[in-house]
Amino acid sequence: MELIKIDYLQIGVAASKLLTVSNLSINSGQKIGLIGNNGAGKTTLMRILAQEKLTDSFTVKGRVSSNCNFAYVSQLLDAGDKSGGQREKLALNKAVTQLKNMPNGLLLLDEPTSNLDITQQQWLIKLINKSKIACLIISHDQNFLNKVCDSIWYIQNKEVHNFSGTYEEFRSFNEDQRKRAETTYEQKKKHLEQLKRSYNLHFNKARTFSHNKKGLSSSDWRSKSMGKQKTANNVIRASKNLASRINKEKAEIKKPQMHHAITLKNGNNAITDLSISPKSKALRLEKQQVNAYGQELFSITQEANLTYSSKVVLTGQNGVGKTVFLKKIKNRQLTGFYNSKLKIGYFNQNIVTSQTDKTLLDSLFATSIFDDSSTMQVLGDLHLRQYGRHKISDLSGGQLVCFNLAKILTGQYNLLLLDEPTNFLDIASVNALAEFVTAYPFAMILVSHDQAFIKQLEAVKWQIKDRCLITSASQKKRSRKSNDNELELLKFKLDQLMLDSQTSISEIKRVKKQIQNLQ
């Protein structure tokens, strides 16, 4: 059954076009993911479908037919005494319960995973997949989209398009389109070069007909050339036609957008000055308890080491102390060794940049360790390039968050602490950030629940679990301790078997082999 039908919807903001939806519908049981860059109009479209009133700066033309009972969970939930993840989970539970006994249910969700940890995300995936309620979901979480959606609405060139299939299938389709566009561009470029060579040949040949031959008077030359005039006219005409084709194809050829990984400028003094010897540790944390708000959050049970170029992803459920851990490292409040050359940059979405009349570009270039082109690419990846000449004091809240991230990423630091850097980023920016993290020359600890993002990183995994910080070293120690215990038990078992006259030779051999494998 058709729950929502959109007939040529046109959305404008501040007298300019924001979004066009030609002809789309949502049917019973469908699970649709709505994706697009930040600012493309996703939330505005969802608010229209949720029948919310927009401000006077928006204009809406077209028709939306609705035949459903819907529940809308917006991205910005009211603050309270609960954490973001708890508030999100309560709102989602309430929306599903509200629609459970209603016919033609439709769930409208705007970034439902942004405050959820990995366990809560798994809960939501299971909830949506078990439910028969139709869903339209705005999300930048690629793992989540792939596990719950059977269709994708994607915004491209200010239009909403439909793709029938999973998010992974959409990615493959998108990648194929990108490769085709690049191949077509290269073919057109090659053809254009051939046309230019042909034009030059014709042009030079045409010039020979217009020049007087050496040693001949003009009248003699004209009389001798009468028979060739027709050929000359054909060459000149062909030359003009080629020029016209070249101009036409030049106007039509369009280079597809290509993304290149951030490259570091050779010999950049800022980078050299921040380098730490590969033989030195950037940070070494001793065994200790991590406390906050008058209570113990977790323990560091094994010395935690960070080399000068380590990339670490820190995971754990909401509330276990990940943000506290980063803040204590930033303020050097944990007992341990901090390299004398260590300069720490800390990104937290709640940090507000001081209001200043400096432009975004002036502020970034003043502190960036990268060359100008790399710094500009970071801006482009975070969709800030067009605001480069804007004053920082004029940036919106979302833009300010992205500016803070750009400022930290490019700043003069050699240890970055990033707390949920992907929360306000769209899919293209998340993928670009993954590339940046991989190529970054110094140490980094980042907190993230975005599993697709984590999967892209070549990073060591740390986890806060069961009130302990589990690093790769502590994990190995736990594994060794477990192996030692098992080995002792098997040796004891072998002794018992050897004393028992009823034991078969094959049983003794089996236990001996287990002991050898563990040793």
Each residue of 349-399: pLDDT tens digit? 766 555 577 899 999 999 998 888 888 888 888 888 888 898 888 877 778
Question: Which segments in the chain show pLDDT lower than 70?
Answer: 76-84, 206-232, 257-270, 272, 350-355, 473-485, 518-519
Bridge-based pairing of strands 281-285 and 304-307 is antiparallel
Q: Which tokens go with 99? A: 């629609």
Q: Other CB atoms closer than 10 Å to residue 141's CB: what's the count?
A: 27
- Which neighbouring-strand residues pair with 162? 153
What pLDDT is recorded for position 475? Answer: 54
- Which neighbouring-strand residues pair with 305? 284
Cα(155)–Cα(34) distance, rounded to whole angstroms? 8
Task: Write out 188-209 in H/E/C secondary structure.
Answer: HHHHHHHHHHHHHHHHHHHHHH
Cα(132)–Cα(128) distance, rounded to whole angstroms? 8
Amino acid making up residue 337 = F
Cα(32)–Cα(137) distance, rounded to whole angstroms? 6
What pLDDT is recorded for position 454? Answer: 92
End-to-end CA distance of the chain: 64
362 contact partners, CB below 8 Å, separation of at least 6 = none
What pLDDT is recorded for position 42? Answer: 93
pTM listed for this prediction: 0.74
Q: Compute the Cα dihedral for 81, 87, 89, 92 and give only its sign.
A: positive
DSSP 259: -
What pLDDT is recorded for position 480? Answer: 53
What pLDDT is recorded for position 3? Answer: 93
∠ CA 420-391-366, rounded to 5°: 75
- Which neighbouring-strand residues pair with 58? 13
What pLDDT is recorded for position 142? Answer: 94
What pLDDT is recorded for position 262? Answer: 56
